[in-house]
A and B are shown apart, each in its own frame.
Chain A
Amino acid sequence: MEAKQIMFAIFALVIVVFSVLTVTSRRILRAAVSLLMVLIATAGLYFILNYQFMAAVQLTLYAGGIVVLIIFSILLTSQISHKFERIETKKAFFSALAAVAGAVVVITTILNHSFSADTAAAAEVDMNLIGRSLLETGPDGYVLPFEVISVLLVAAMIGAIVIAKKGSPHKDEPAK
C-alpha cells in the first residue's frame, strides 16, 4: 500500500467515527470537539487531493473560525456539565432508518454509475492561478461570484451585529 492510501484510510476512519460522535454525543462540548476532528480530517483529504489552498482555507475558516464561534456560543448558552437526555427510541429508530435508507440509495447509485474522466492534463493549482482566476472577467474568471460573496459576507456581518445587539426597543422594557 502506498503512503497516500494509508493516510486516506486513517482520515476516512476519523471522519466516520467523529461524524457519528458529533451527532450522538450527549455532552455538547464533546460534540463540538468531534466536529473539529471531522473538519481537520477533511482538510487532510484535500491535501491528498493535492489542493493545498483549499486545505489551508478549510483549516483556518472551518476548523479555526466556525468551530471557535460554535464553542463560544456553547459557552454562552449552555452548562458544560449538562448532559442531554436520551433520545426517544422511536424517534432515534425512524431517523436512523431514514438516514440509512437514503445512504443505501445514494451509495448503490454511485457504485453502479461509471464515471468518465476528462483527459485534459492536470492543472497545477498554485496561489498564482487561484488569485488570477478569482479576479478575472473572462470565461475562466470568477469575479462575479467573488463580488457577490463579499457583499453577502458584509450583509451577514451587519445582520449578525444587529440581531445580537443588546437593548432593542421592546414594549415592556425601556429602550436604553
Chain B
Amino acid sequence: MIMNSGIPLEFYLVLATVMFFTGIYGFLTRRNLITMLMSVELILNSVNINFMAFNRFLFPGKLEGHFFSLFVIAVAAAEAAVAIAIIINIYRRFTTINVEDVNQMKY
C-alpha cells in the first residue's frame, strides 16, 4: 500500500466513495430542490477528494489533480449560483420548491 504520512491511499478513496454514495442516496430520496442541490454538492466534493489524493499519492511531482479540483470548485460555484436563481424563480411562481408539485414547464 502506498502511504503518505502514515495514511494509505485507500483510506481516502473509501472515504470519498462513502461520501459519494451518501450524496446519491440523498439525491434519490429528497424531494426538496435545495436539499437535492446539497446532495449534488456532496457528490462534487467527494470527487475533489479523489483528485487531490491521487495527485498527492500517485503523481506527487505534478499538479494536474490539484488544478482539476480547483476548476471543479469554480464550476460548482457557478452551478450553485444558477441553480439557486432558478429555485428562487420557481418559488416565486409556484410558492413551493417541492419537485413533485412543480409540474408545469411552460409559463
Give chain A's interface residues, CB within 8 Å of chain B. 1-2, 4-5, 8, 12, 15-16, 19-20, 22-24, 28, 31-32, 35, 38-39, 42, 45-46, 48-51, 54, 57-58, 61-62, 65-66, 69-70, 72-74, 76-78, 84, 87, 91-92, 95-96, 98-100, 102-103, 106-107, 110-111, 115-118, 120-123, 125, 129-130, 133-134, 140, 142, 145, 149, 152-153, 155-157, 159-161, 163-164, 170
Residues A99 and B91 in contact, CB atoms below 8 Å apart = no
The 6 tightest CB contacts between A and B, nearest first, are: A23-B26, A120-B61, A156-B78, A122-B60, A95-B28, A164-B85
Q: Would you call B24 and A98 a contact (CB within 8 A)?
A: yes
List, in ascending order, chain B residues with CB within 8 A of A45's CB: 12, 15, 49, 52
The docked-state distance in angstroms from the alpha carbon of A120 to that of B55 is: 12
Q: Tell me the nearest residue of chain A to B88, going by C-beta.
A: A164
- Can you report 19 residue pairs joining A to B where beta carbons are below 8 Å apart? A2-B5, A4-B5, A15-B15, A16-B19, A19-B18, A23-B25, A23-B39, A31-B35, A49-B4, A70-B37, A84-B32, A95-B28, A103-B20, A106-B20, A118-B62, A120-B59, A152-B75, A156-B82, A163-B85
Q: What residue of chain B has the Cβ atom nearest to residue A154's Cβ?
A: B78
* Cα distance A15–B79 in the bound complex, in angstroms: 23
B: interface residue count bin = 35 or more
Contact (A117, B2) CB under 8 Å given A23-B26, A54-B66: yes
CA of A92 to CA of B13 in the docked complex: distance in angstroms? 25
Residue from the list B32, B80, B86 in contact with A66, Cβ < 8 A: B80
Q: How far is the CB of A40 from chain B (nearest CB, A)?
A: 11
Residues of B within 8 A of A (CB): 2, 4-7, 9-15, 17-26, 28-32, 34-35, 37-39, 41-42, 45, 48-49, 52-53, 56-63, 66-67, 69-71, 73-82, 84-89, 91, 97, 107
User: A122 — which chain B residues lie within 8 A by C-beta?
Assistant: 56, 60-61
Query: Does the CB pair A73–B87 fall under 8 Å?
Result: yes
Provide the bound-state CA to CA distance between A157 and B74, in Å. Answer: 12
